[in-house]
Structure 1
Amino acid sequence: MAERISDAEHAVMEVLWDESPLTAQDVTERVDPNRAWSAATVKTLLGRLLGKGAVQHEVDGRRYLYSPAVAREDYVAGESRKLIDRLFGGKLTPLVAHLAERDELSRQDIAEIEALLKALKQ
């Protein structure tokens, strides 16, 4: 998937990552109700996602069943890499330092990072 997906498209992807395959109506019913999207809006977003290769569909009678064409983990890895490349010159340490300097790491975050580093060293 080369093209970036928008925040709205991401909301549709989250629904499909949680459960699929789904019809457009199923997605409309499951997307965050605060968005108050119509079925037409969801169908437009699904069409965009199909065009970007993020979603695939199969024909089931007179309806389409949609499912993700990219795993959530793969998408998160790609987006994380793009963020680190764009904002921190491809280096992870400045990102962690930035968060630490702004007191945005809780004790729990620090403990989890320490546990991760310890596991990586082994």
Structure 2
Amino acid sequence: MGISEAEAIIMEVLWRSAPRSAEEILAEVGPQQDWQEGTVKSLLNRLLKKKAVKAERDGRRYLYAPKLAREQYVSQESKGLLDRLFGGRVAPLVAHFSEQRKLSRKDIAELRKLLEELDDDQP
């Protein structure tokens, strides 16, 4: 399931707090994105067709909630990024950020700790 950048903005709102009406979503993201009600409703309809969200009638409106878990989305997106840009390998990704000086001391410490934990798990 491919989620566009605009659809991801809607999903982030729903992951933070759901269920939400289209009007509530618009109030949260409309001003920053310069979106109108029609834009939000179009994005919600696209997400419904992709089965990323579900809608439940609440009187004269619909309330939307995510069906796609954020963790599942992050996993799909990160795998896609690794596959597209780094041949599915993590080491070239880390090397890229290292070369671009985008790794903080904290990042490096966390990577070391993760590598040590992974190494400890090996037979």
Give the TM-score of the pair, scaled to structure 2. 0.91
2:52–2:66 Cα contact (<8 Å) kept: yes
Distance of 1:120 and 1:59 partners within structure 2: 47
CA RMSD across the alignment: 1.2
2:30–2:36 Cα contact (<8 Å) kept: no
Q: Which ranges in structure 2 are unaligned for 5 or more consecutive residues? A: none
Aligned to 2:54: 56
Count residues in correspondence: 120
Q: Which ranges in structure 1 are unaligned for 5 or more consecutive residues? A: none
Aligned to 1:31: 29
Distance of 2:91 and 2:30 partners within structure 1: 35
Residue number among 31, 39, 45 corresponding to 2:43 in the alignment: 45
92-101 vs 32-41, greater mean Cα deviation: 32-41
97-106 vs 18-27, greater mean Cα deviation: 97-106
What is the 5 A alignment of 1:63-74?
63-74=61-72
Distance of 1:87 and 1:98 partners within structure 2: 11
Q: Match of 1:45, as an amino acid?
A: L
Distance of 1:101 and 1:32 partners within structure 2: 37
Distance of 1:22 and 1:71 partners within structure 2: 16
- Structure number with the bigger relative contact order (C-alpha 8 A, sep ≥ 6) is 1
Deviation per residue, 1:49-98 (Å, 9 max, x gap)? 11111111111122111011111111001100011011111111111111
Provide the identity percentage: 53
Look up the SS of the partner of 1:56 in the other structure.
strand
Aligned to 1:17: 15
Deviation per residue, 1:16-42 (Å, 9 max, x gap)? 010000010011111162212111111
